[in-house]
Structure 1
Amino acid sequence: MDGWMDGNDTTVIGLIKNNYETAYREEVDGLAEWCLTNNLLLNTEKTMELIVDFKRTANPHSTIYIKETVECVNSFKFMGVHIFKDLTWTTGCSKLVKKDRQHLFFLRTLRKNQLSSDILMNFYRCTIENILSNRITVYYSSCSASDPKVLQRW
């Protein structure tokens, strides 16, 4: 079981083996203590925990507490990538395609307004190509069988 905690651009990743959560909890407590000592404020409203557990029957996991209860979520966005507790990429691929379709609409609008091909190419490279090339390395190799087909159309 892995625990991921994200809050204010700080991420704690811990591996819990044999239901022994002590090291993970100590790491979280250490981070909270370090922030307090160094006059840094953890925004507990934006702090969340994602548990990845591939066991057939997931063991109960006690709640993390940093001044208040930390929300346990099924997914979150980390550096522009949607991470889900089952580590599948289908929803991430769908969001990527949706975002690219929006950019294609803007590209068509620019073309209809007769902008130069240089401007159109710059727009394409900065938006559509940039998004695809940055995310494809994450999504493509781990997608379900149908997801690469959707991505290849772009």
Structure 2
Amino acid sequence: MLNTLIYSLFTQDYVAEHDSNTIIKFADNTTVVGLIIDNNETAYREEVRDLAVWYQDKNLSLNVSKTKEMIVDSRKRWAEHTPIHIDRAVVEQVESFKFLGVHINNKLLWSKHTKNIVKRARQCLFPLWRLKRFAMGPQILKKFYSCTTKSILTGCITAWYGNCSASDRKVLQRLMRTTQYITGAKLPAIQDLYTWRCQRKAQKIVKDSSNPSHRLFSLQLHGKRYWSTKSRSKRLVNRFYPQAIRFLNI
């Protein structure tokens, strides 16, 4: 924990040099997100190079073997991306990676993540069965569910559930029904948990004017509803911000 704190103190003053890039820092993880327009990768590559130089100047070392690059491109035809280099070493390009507990892939599909959390959640069903065999009541079983299975299923749910496939949602809901059968208590559907989390997160953003996303929640002229984003892309409509605005306007 002390190493993580020291790292955060050392790197807190580094910010992106280009407007098209974003630096995400959490504990000892640093992520560079670059928006490439018209196949112009100059700003993105300069950002990575400047970050590596900055680390050297601060006597910090980048573990290139653990550094990965993932390219998200929804175009049907896209040119091959030349790998980036750090300290003369090639950074591995991957189709998916685990970022702060969430499995993200370059197609922005969430099957791998849902399979992972379902596997972890099912491991909690055995101790739940054991507690039931020891004649624990529904309230105790529900508390155990909230501390284990629920926390696993709802981790970062606002980021991934909106664009889950129908088959993935069925698997998640089937797990919820099994858990409800074991506990003997009424449990909310996974969709209701997602809606509640979106509303709660959106309300926090609306109340916090210092939040970078605060400007995305703007009231209409009559001051009762928020402006919603219109798009032909189902992927965009199902993301957190459009969904959260829709839930707030209900």
Normalised-by-shorter TM-score class: 0.7 to 0.9
Unmatched 5+ stretches in structure 1: none
What is the distance in 1 between the residues matched to 2:135 and 2:163?
A: 40
- CA apart distance, 1:119: 5.9
2:70 is the alignment partner of 1:50 = yes
Using the TM superposition, give the Cα deviation of residue 140 of structure 1 relative to its aligned residue in structure 2, in angstroms: 1.8
- For 1:6 and 1:46, locate their aligned partners in 2 and report how far apart those are by CA, in whole Å: 17
Aligned match of 1:66: 86
Partner of 1:9: 29
The alignment-based identity, stated in percent, is: 48
Please state how far the C-alpha of 1:132 moved relative to its aligned partner. 1.5
Q: Does 1:149 align with 2:170?
A: yes
1:76 maps onto 2:86 in alignment: no
Structure 1 residues 12, 117: CA separation in 2 closer, same or farther (over 3 Å shift)?
A: same
Residues 107-146 of structure 1 aligned to structure 2 (within 5 Å): 107-112=128-133, 120-146=141-167
Change (3 A) 1:5 1:70: farther
- TM-score scaled by length of structure 2: 0.55
Contact 1:4 1:49 in 2 (8 A): no
Q: 1:122 to 1:58 in 2, by over 3 A?
A: same
Paired residue for 1:32?
Answer: 52
- Conserved 8 A contact 1:6-1:49: no
Partner amino acid, structure 2, of 1:149: K
RMSD over equivalenced CA pairs, Å = 2.6
Q: Which residue identity does 1:59 align to in structure 2? A: A
State the secondary structure of the residue aligned to 1:152: helix
Unaligned runs of 5+ in 2: 1-20, 177-250
Task: Give the equivalent residue in structure 1 for 2:206.
Answer: none
Shift of the 90–135 alpha-carbon distance from structure 1 to 2, 3 Å rule, reads: same
Alignment of 1:82-97 (within 5 A): 82-97=103-118
**Looking at CA atoms only, which structure, 1 or 2, has the larger radius of gyration?**
2
TM-superposition CA deviations, 1:99-149 (whole Å, max 9, x none): 111111232234445667776444322221111222432222111122222
Name whichever structure is richer in strand by fraction. 1
AA in 2 matched with 1:96: I
Contact 1:5 1:48 in 2 (8 A): no
CA distance in 2, matches of 1:136, 1:108: 26
Alpha carbons of structure 1 residues 6 and 44: separation in structure 2 relative to 1, 3 Å? farther
Give distance in 2, aligned partners of 1:31 and 1:137.
30
Tell me how many residue pairs correspond in the alignment: 152
Using the TM superposition, name which of 137-146 and 37-46 deviates more.
137-146
Q: Distance in 2 between matches of 1:63 and 1:31?
A: 16
Tell me the residue number matched to 2:18: none
Write the distance in 1 (CA, Å) between the matches of 2:22 and 2:65. 16
